[in-house]
Amino acid sequence: MKTKGYQYVEWMSGPEMHEHTKGWVSELAFVGDEQHFLNELIKSHTLELLEFEEFESSKELVDNLLDLEFKLGDLVKKVEKHKNQLEIIVDDVDQIEMEKAYRKTHQNLSVVIGHYILEYRAVKAGIFRLLSSVLKKGKQNRLLNE
């Protein structure tokens, strides 16, 4: 799943911004599901992680994941609020300043969500690398002990 690049919000229509916002809601919901999966994966391999030589780096990755989960809740609330305020754009009433503020908020959210997704993907990749190393080491130890 790729994040959408920067679009000129000034030229986006109400329906385009609505679709854009729905995409954010969907992507953030997917990220939430992935974070839940990663937490369960980490819980199931806690003992191996505790015995791993790079415990501090693994602790840092888990802390980063928890921080991102916390940020996700706030981000979802902002996107939902933004989605609910779309009426400002599509109501056929000229409210130039309010529409300008809405478009500016949309642009800011686009940047914030893009950065969040990039940060999340980096943490997710780090967790997968870490767990892969832990599982390989555990498998090697079992083979050596047999």
Nearest-10 crossing angle of helices 96-145, 55-84: 150
Q: Which of 24-33, 39-48, 73-82 has the lowest mean pLDDT?
A: 39-48
- Length of the chain (residues): 146
- Cβ distance 10 to 103 under 8 Å? yes
| pLDDT greater than 80 at residue 90 | no
Name the pLDDT band for 100 (thresholds 50, 70, 90): confident
Read off the pTM. Answer: 0.80
Mean pLDDT (whole number) for 31-48: 89
**Listed residue (79, 106, 78) closest to 14, CA to CA:** 106
Q: Give me the amino acid identity at 79.
A: V
| pLDDT greater than 80 at residue 48 | no
Selected residue with higher pLDDT from 116 and 94: 116
Dihedral-angle region of residue 82 (phi above 0 means left; psi in -120 to 50 means alpha; beta otherwise): alpha
